[in-house]
Copies of this chain bind each other. A is one copy, B any other.
Amino acid sequence: MTTDKVRGMSGTPMNAGRGTGHRAHTSAYHALLTNIRNGVFAPGSRLPGERQLATQLEVSRATLRQALGRLAEEGHITAAAQRGWFVRPPRVVSEPPSQLQSFTEMAESRGLTPSTEVLSYETRPATFTEAEKLAIAPASTVLALARRRSLDGVRVLVDHSVIALSRTPGMDEADLTDRSLYATFQEVAGVQIVRSDYAVRAEAADAETADLLDLAPGDPVLVGEQVEYSLAEVPILCGQVVYRGDAYRFQASLFRPAET
């Protein structure tokens, strides 16, 4: 240990060549930057070690680190401790998992004003397919609800929902005009929706929905069929949502099991 001791001498070997009048650390900075720009150091790749770089650029490590620090500040490179300096790939971080969001929530998170018109509203016996989807007895009482929803006054979707009333007592008396259905389920019936099975497809608008969405018949619409489940995995609601094709897109993250 302590073999170092620094002997005198040393001093100034520098100033070799780069007589540009620049300070040493700016010369190093420019040398590195142009090499990054020229792709000598490819994006995402690791720079040579500081010690090696310092020798090659004929500056000391401390000076080199000034240049590196400046490059890092300006976002050209990033440091990974004990691993090296990396040329920063133009990475865009995004965290968009597939989360279930109500229309109201979605609108709010985008800063838009949602509005809802109830087109029809009735309690009636469930059809056979509805009963199957909701896992209730055929002809049980359900609440059928049709709504048109808009964002900032633009008509965006028509929504037909069928709610299993036996599982959400009180829902037939709630005001659904501009509340989130999810919130109403929670407050009125104490039921939390946590999962939705969704299937979407593209169709051509029929005359009726075209009229409702200010489209021409035949214009493309996105049709989503959904079944929504409570925390106990009990189906609560099934329905169909028809979106204007040019006003909505459906987003999700899919995962793939790893192979071994």
Which residues in A have some Cβ–Cβ distance to B below 8 Å?
4, 6, 9-19, 21, 23-24, 35, 38-49, 52, 56, 77-84, 86-92, 94-101, 131-133, 135-138, 140, 166, 182, 186, 192-204, 218-223, 231, 243, 245-246, 248-260
Is B220 within 8 A of A245, CB to CB?
A: yes
Is A254 within 8 A of B15, CB to CB?
A: no
Copies of this protein chain in the complex: 2
- Smallest CB separation, A195 vs chain B (Å): 5
Is A255 within 8 A of B194, CB to CB?
A: yes
**Cα distance A201–B251 in the bound complex, in angstroms:** 9
Residues of B within 8 Å of A48, CB to CB, are 6, 9, 12, 258, 260
- Smallest CB separation, A31 vs chain B (Å): 11
- Smallest CB separation, A190 vs chain B (Å): 12
Tell me which of B80, B92, B255 contacts A24 (CB under 8 A): B80
Residues of B within 8 Å of A202, CB to CB, are 202-203, 220-223, 243, 245
